[in-house]
Structure 1
């Protein structure tokens, strides 16, 4: 059974969130939801998540899962907000614990923050299966961008997170903690081993060369046309290119605010005695 997919593009972070639903039923999942965040004012808002809520409610859909492809470094997750509204479970790749361990030390989080993934409702191992109404979800561990990256597959639809971009934009950077170009190459080729007609849904698009934003392609198109790995580009060529290019990339603007929220499944840090929640910015540490 092949699912219905609705994308929601977030202008502020060029992120695409998704609702993936049964073809003829109410069960659905939300993939990579965004919490609006203004870094200048330090304010959060829920307009993007509320648009997803409105779509779900208008279609009488039942959200069984909120799925994170990884701990994002370029936007805050709305997972916790949507769980509160919907009662849904939040799932993420099991290797989120490795990401939590690194950033727990960087942010000097108190011992009360366990780096064991317990902030999430399910930690998916490689090749895990789970139900979404009449659909079966399958999880592929696709690290390289981060150690925790996974791809979710429902029928002919796969949600690849940041592992791949549209063919004219290429592939994920590997200069974050635990990133590895060789590992990313192998992960991409796990995705490209899916059937040619598999629909691939990107987590971001930036409209290179002025084209309209787009976020859906196929395995066949990626295999033939992806500017970084298409046309049988070798492992050695990819590793050399990716490593050299990433050495010149600047840090994402929202990395330091977002990671400390996203390793908490989208929950903000606990309020302090004055009723205010604070994000930490480690100085001269990255």
Structure 2
């Protein structure tokens, strides 16, 4: 029997609660400790919940007994033991009959957030359409990528049309967001479009760059600064790189750098996604209330 409908830890993001409708995961999330009301049509009646909980308890007892029988066997049969998920009493999220979590959804709303979490830096970032959590990525600190890959136009390798990277600044005594972003943008561009970690040139190297935008901006309620470059490469359409710096809202409030790498051309992600992701960055402490949304406080365009 499947676990009863309710809020349980999300298998892909245990720090968030996700609604299980009794047979499958839904697209409803909530912060732990403050779960929202059952989604429309997903809660069931009070009597059905009691019956479901009772049945789930019986399943748990049966699973424990069955597990004890298997553990007591020594007949050399090599039978595989499978546990029955019971999210009512376990921290593990239910997986029986449940599909894998959706990798990409629309921009999050207050009652249905789709986010990736950078626990170290204390922020969440919205997972927009066309973006997924990183898989098989060699770069450090990548928090999301565009869906799919393609053959790099330069040296052999696999490239992605978009990356978002979040890291803590640890090797720089500078604390000014403007100075940090201004110093980081060159390294960000080189790492994205000049040479990779093993010295290859996936895009044939950078031929030129132009600063297209920079300025102050509020991120998760903190004063930050960003610098955006248009990079032209020897092969391929080149792309856009942005360095966004702001202080963390947790711990020692160490500076955080979020890098955006977007291929140019029709295959690249919409450039507006940089702004949408930035505006959707929140402190992990504010995820449940919707507070801390980044908003512009006077960005300036550069020639």
Structure with the higher strand share, 1 or 2: 2
> If the TM-score is normalised by the length of the shorter chain, which range does it land in?
under 0.3
Which structure has more relative contact order (CA 8 Å, sep 6+)? It is 1
| TM-score normalised by length of structure 1 | 0.25
| TM-score normalised by length of structure 2 | 0.24
Structure with the higher helix share, 1 or 2: 1
Greater radius of gyration (CA): 2
